[in-house]
Amino acid sequence: DVKVTQSSRYLVKRTGEKVFLECVQDMDHENMFWYRQDPGLGLRLIYFSYDVKMKEKGDIPEGYSVSREKKERFSLILESASTNQTSMYLCASSSGAGRDYNEQFFGPGTRLTVL
């Protein structure tokens, strides 16, 4: 059974804190993604990675960084959390690209509140 897990379902942090969101997949997928989901805005891509130690900016990378030291793990880092980063964060993984693109599998999400 394919699985993408995220370290927390709910997280509350204070403004200025450094926040780590962890994502692990057990499907040996090359590609991993971080999205944020906000009401009325849908899913927006923050960063993705197509290989270990590789990363690409998505549509809204400002205020975020990522780390992929192992194939199965992709971390999203909020260097200095701000209230406008309060959101639902979704991690996903997939295999293939271009002509061989396959569907993304999603984790359960982390609802982050920054006070």
Partner 1 sequence: AQKVTQAQTEISVVEKEDVTLDCVYETRDTTYYLFWYKQPPSGELVFLIRRNSFDEQNEISGRYSWNFQKSTSSFNFTITASQVVDSAVYFCALSEGYSGAGSYQLTFGKGTKLSVIP
Footprint of partner 1 (CB under 8 A) = 31, 33, 40-43, 45, 48, 50, 56, 58, 88, 90, 92, 94, 97-99, 101-109
Closer CB to partner 1, 36 or 81, in the complex: 36
Give the separation between CA 79 and CA 97, rounded to whole angstroms: 30
Closer CB to partner 1, 1 or 98, in the complex: 98
- Sequence-distant (6+) residues with CB within 8 A of 40 are none
Q: How far apart are the first and last CA of the chain?
A: 37
CB of 109 to partner 1, least distance (A): 5
Give the separation between CA 18 and CA 21, rounded to whole angstroms: 10
Which amino acid, one-letter code, is at 15? T
CB of 14 to partner 1, least distance (A): 24
CB of 12 to partner 1, least distance (A): 17
The half-sphere exposure of 82 on its side-chain side, counting CA atoms within 13 A, is 5
Closer CB to partner 1, 17 or 56, in the complex: 56
